[in-house]
Amino acid sequence: MKKNKYEQAYGLHAVRHVFENDISRVVEMWVQEGLSSAKLNALLKQAKQQGIAIQPVPKKTLEKLTENGHHQGIVIRYKARPTKTQTSLEDILASLTDPPFLLVLDEVQDPHNLGACLRTADAAGIHAVIVPENRACRLTAIVRAVASGAADNVPIIQVTNLARTLRWLQEQGVWLVGTDCESQTSLFETRLTGSLALVLGSEGTGLRRLTQKTCDVLVHIPMLGKVESLNVSVAAGICLYEAVRQRHSK
């Protein structure tokens, strides 16, 4: 997830969140010729007020820029921010007044899955999402579009050695709950309150062996039908909201 000097975002929600987060980072905008809507026009008005260069272009140009993504007639280029590392994670934990609530994604490589995980993490109130530096999806425009603004709301921490970071979290008193379809322990029978990190693996192979060994407990999501597994973003949503239910239960 190495950062380039500039990043790209497209779609009304993703662009709006970049504007709300820090519109001064935006350096250029492309909009579809002849397209008009209240939401698009509001963004154009903001851009003009900030002196952002706006280029009207054919729809085909936007499709090429976004690799046929759901651009909704708008694409922006903006200055990238420095990658957040474990030092950032340490600062986040030090600043919390509530028990840490973290999501760890071990080698998730599909941008749609990563974007969906970020969106649900934001909705569930996650304090940070932790990902490995290698063999993981980068924070691309597709991820940002699917995340619908969550990529700018939730801190994304990139670490060089995930197992070492997990051990450090344990030293800070964070309980590590990993998912594994072979586990005999049900998610719904597991304590998910207090300082917690939910750890989910890649789409095909799940958690790596070392990641599994580092977790305090491995759980499975009960499967009552004939399919053997769930999409990682769906699994993340189930795990996150079971934790939310427990953490907010009286």
pLDDT, tens digit (0-9, with 9 covering 90-100), for 78-111: 988 788 888 999 999 999 999 999 999 998 999 9
Instruction: Specify which residues 176 forms β-bridges with.
Output: 197
- 138: in domain: yes
Whether 207 is covered by a domain: the verdict is: yes
The rounded Cα 149 to chain-centroid distance in angstroms is 10
Is 231 found in the same domain as 118? yes
Please tell me the distance from the alpha carbon of residue 64 to that of residue 75, in angstroms, as a whole number: 11
pLDDT tens for residues 19-73?
A: 988 899 999 999 999 999 999 999 999 999 999 999 999 999 999 998 888 899 9
How many Å from the N-terminal Cα to the C-terminal Cα in the chain?
40
Confidence of residue 144 (pLDDT cuts 50, 70, 90): confident
Question: Are residues 168 and 86 in contact, defined by beta-carbon separation less than 8 angstroms?
Answer: yes
| Same-domain status, 166 and 45 | no
In terms of Cα–Cα distance, which of 153, 161, 87 is closest to 131? 161
Same domain, 243 and 135: yes
Higher pLDDT, 140 or 4: 140
95 lies in the same domain as 166: yes
pLDDT at 178 over 70: yes
Q: Which of 51, 79, 107 is the last residue of a domain?
A: 79
CA–CA gap between residue 150 and residue 99 (Å, rounded): 21
Provide the number of structural domains found in the chain: 2
d(CA 100, CA 127): 7
| β-pair partners for 228 | none
DSSP H or E stretch at residue 232: helix 232-247
- pLDDT of 143 > 60? The answer is yes
Q: Same domain, yes or no, for 130 and 169?
A: yes
Last residue of a domain, which of 79, 114, 143?
Answer: 79
Higher pLDDT among residues 203 and 100, named by residue: 100
CATH of the domain at 200: 3.40.1280.10
Same domain, residue pair 101 and 173:
yes
For range 178-194, the mean pLDDT: 95
Is residue 155 domain-shared with residue 219, that is, in the same domain? yes
Is residue 219 exposed (0-12), middle (13-18) or buried (19+ Cβ within 10 Å)? Answer: buried
pLDDT of residue 80: 82
Residue 1 lies in a domain: no
Domain boundary among 35, 54, 79: 79
Length of the chain: 250
Euclidean distance between CA atoms 48 and 54, whole angstroms: 8
- Whole-angstrom CA distances from 205 to 108, 115, 147, 179, 181 are 10, 19, 23, 12, 11
Q: Which CATH number does the domain housing residue 38 bear?
A: 3.30.1330.30
Q: What is the pLDDT of residue 2?
A: 44
Q: Are 1 and 138 in contact (CB under 8 A)?
A: yes
- Phi, psi angles (nearest 5°) of residue 154: -100, 125
- Residues 132-144, mean pLDDT to the nearest whole number: 87
Q: Which domain holds residue 71?
A: 6-79
